[in-house]
């Protein structure tokens, strides 16, 4: 069993916080959670972490205990990629592996394409690239994004009377075990005078004004040179069409897939099955870090 994680924070222009297991171990893995989740997303997996794998799970910007982005703009995917690049510099990790779930998987794919000499292997949990946009929706997307951003600035945060109520609310939005939802709530809530509210930035819920087209995403994925392991829940979620996913898989040079019975947060609900695929994959490719 892995030891208890260390809390850490690093300034990358904003302060990113997270959890660190096995500092100094030779196999360096940076883990990126999904949309509106936090670093606790990887707690169940980390309990099965081998001693030779060093794992850092961050709260991505606007999530968990990390800072919200300054200003009054949206959360662009490219900004998350830049966060990873700056974080790796501060950690003095010239080469490392990435593990991403959902939004974190999309950011991980983009980072692997942008930093091919640094990201040496990639594990994704149902997150093989970002969600696509249709060109004909460009005007309406921008209109909706502006409206959403203006509304987010004045929206009163939803109050929960206690963490259990927040856990029940989270379970209505995702198919996951109550224990998994409770882990996300534990790190994701803060107490205020009249209840409990999410720490996450309300702007995260605002649609982006721009999206890659599916063709652009496939070319981006074609730029990933490192080995890629994808863990897919069975049955898969409805976030992406099967034809799009199959075309993306076909663009990769070194790809393998493992299916695990479960839902979108399969790495939390079925950590044993996921760990049995993910950790041997990173150990197999540890020579790529030298």
pTM greater than the 0.95 cutoff: yes
**Higher per-residue confidence, 1 vs 213:** 213
Its CATH class, for the domain covering 6-133+208-289, is alpha beta
| DSSP class per residue in the chain | -PPPPEEEEEESSSEEEEEEESTT-SEEEEEE--TT--GGGGHHHHTT--TTEEEEEE--TTSTTSPPPSSS----HHHHHHHHHHHHHHHT-SSEEEEEETHHHHHHHHHHHH-TTTEEEEEEES-SSPPP--GGGHHHHHHHHHHHHHHHHHPPPPPBSSHHHHHHHHHTTS---HHHHHHHHHHHEEEETTEEEE-S-GGGGSPPS----HHHHHHHHHT--S-EEEEEEESPPSSS-HHHHHHHHHH-SSEEEEEEES-TTHHHHSHHHHHHHHHHHHHHTGGGG-
Task: List, for residues 166-189, the tens digit of each pLDDT value.
Answer: 999 999 988 999 999 999 999 999
Q: Where are the domains of the chain?
A: 6-133+208-289
Residue 81 has pLDDT above 90, yes or no: yes
Residue 248 has pLDDT above 80, yes or no: yes
């Amino acid at each position: 069993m892995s030891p208890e994680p260390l809390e850490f924070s690093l300034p990358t222009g904003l302060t990113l916080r997270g959890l660190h297991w096995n500092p100094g171990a030779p196999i360096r893995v940076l883990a990126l959670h999904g949309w509106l989740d936090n670093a606790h997303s990887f707690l169940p997996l980390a309990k099965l972490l081998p001693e030779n794998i060093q794992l850092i799970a961050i709260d991505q910007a606007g999530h968990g205990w990390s800072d919200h982005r300054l200003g009054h703009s949206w959360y662009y995917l490219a900004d998350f990629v830049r966060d990873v690049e700056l974080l790796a510099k501060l950690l003095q990790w010239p080469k490392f592996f990435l593990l991403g779930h959902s939004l974190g998987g999309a950011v991980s794919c983009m980072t692997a394409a942008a930093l091919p000499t640094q990201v040496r292997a990639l594990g994704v949990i149902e997150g093989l690239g970002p969600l696509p946009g249709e060109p004909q929706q460009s005007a309406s997307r921008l209109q909706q994004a502006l409206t959403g951003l203006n509304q987010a600035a004045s929206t009163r945060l939803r109050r929960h009377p206690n963490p259990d109520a927040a856990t029940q609310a989270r379970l209505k939005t995702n198919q996951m075990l109550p224990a998994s939802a409770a882990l996300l709530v534990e790190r994701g809530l803060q107490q205020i005078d009249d209840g409990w509210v999410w720490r996450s930035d309300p702007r995260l819920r605002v649609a982006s004004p721009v999206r890659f087209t599916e063709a652009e995403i496939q070319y981006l994925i074609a730029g990933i040179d490192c080995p890629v392991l994808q863990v897919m829940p069975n049955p898969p979620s409805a976030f992406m069409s099967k034809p799009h996913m199959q075309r993306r898989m076909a663009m990769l040079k070194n790809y393998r897939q493992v299916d695990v019975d479960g839902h979108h947060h399969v790495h939390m609900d079925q950590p044993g099955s996921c760990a049995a695929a993910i950790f041997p994959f990173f150990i197999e490719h540890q020579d790529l870090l030298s």
